Amino acid sequence: MSAGGLFSACSKSAPEFRGVDITGADYARDFALPDQNGQMRSLKDFAGKVVVVFFGYTQCPDVCPTTLQELAQVKQSLGADGDKLQAVFVTIDPARDTPELLKAYMANFDPSFIALRGSDAQTAAIAKEFKIYYKKVDGQTPTSYTMDHSAGSYLFDPAGRLRIYSRYGSGPDAVAADVRSLLKEAT
């Protein structure tokens, strides 16, 4: 083995993520919204955990339930480290997504998952901070509208730093691998 090989084997290399490494990004720094139980939440509430933040709405027919189901699978696949994962769902439809509805919706996936719900102005502000696109699409009746929205998730490391953007469709195995990398890095 060459001397260069000896030194490189001892150096700590940067983790290779399956999602997009956005370490050092100057957006999606924090949130401050009430959860489905009315408790104000921010990133610091989840110190020591990998936090996955996802934006959506309860009446979403595909992307939102798929993502939340995958996050439940990720948590389960982590075994004993499952309690070190916190899923945070931010509604982009506060008009229909009442706290009661959000409680029931989150319970369908995992009782530890939380949902955040702000006013229209708070929702617009957090969407801007996280660079999230969303738009109401009128339906046949005033209450049958849908919402177009960004579909990826943001992963924060246990120290609360934004690290990874996980594209929709990456699958639970890729997200679980990234969560494990962030947890390993924190030890």
Establish if 9 belongs to a structural domain: no
> Residues 6 or more apart from 142 whose CB is under 8 A from it?
none
3-class secondary structure, 85: strand
* Number of folded domains that form the chain: 1
Establish if 73 belongs to a structural domain: yes
As a whole number of angstroms, the distance between CA 153 and CA 52 comes to: 6
Sole residue written with tokens 């719900």? 117
Domain of 64 in residue numbering reads as 16-40+48-186
pTM for the structure as a whole: 0.91
Establish if 95 belongs to a structural domain: yes
Q: Are strands 146-149 and 134-137 parallel, antiparallel or unpaired?
A: antiparallel
Establish if 105 belongs to a structural domain: yes
64 known member of a binding site = yes
> Running DSSP on this structure, what letter comes out for residue 140?
S
**What region does 171 belong to: left with phi over 0, alpha with psi -120 to 50, or beta?**
left
Furthest C-alpha separation in the chain: 71
CATH number at 124 reads: 3.40.30.10
Contact 28, 166 (CB under 8 A): no
10 known member of a binding site = no
Establish if 5 belongs to a structural domain: no
Per-residue pLDDT of the chain (187 residues; tens, 9 = 90+): 444 444 444 445 667 899 999 999 999 999 999 999 999 999 999 999 999 999 999 999 999 999 999 999 999 999 999 999 999 999 999 999 999 999 999 999 999 999 999 999 999 999 999 999 999 999 999 889 999 999 999 999 999 999 999 999 999 999 999 999 999 998 8
60 known member of a binding site = yes
Rounded (10°) angle between helices 172-186 and 63-77:
50
Establish if 10 belongs to a structural domain: no
Establish if 67 belongs to a structural domain: yes
Establish if 65 belongs to a structural domain: yes
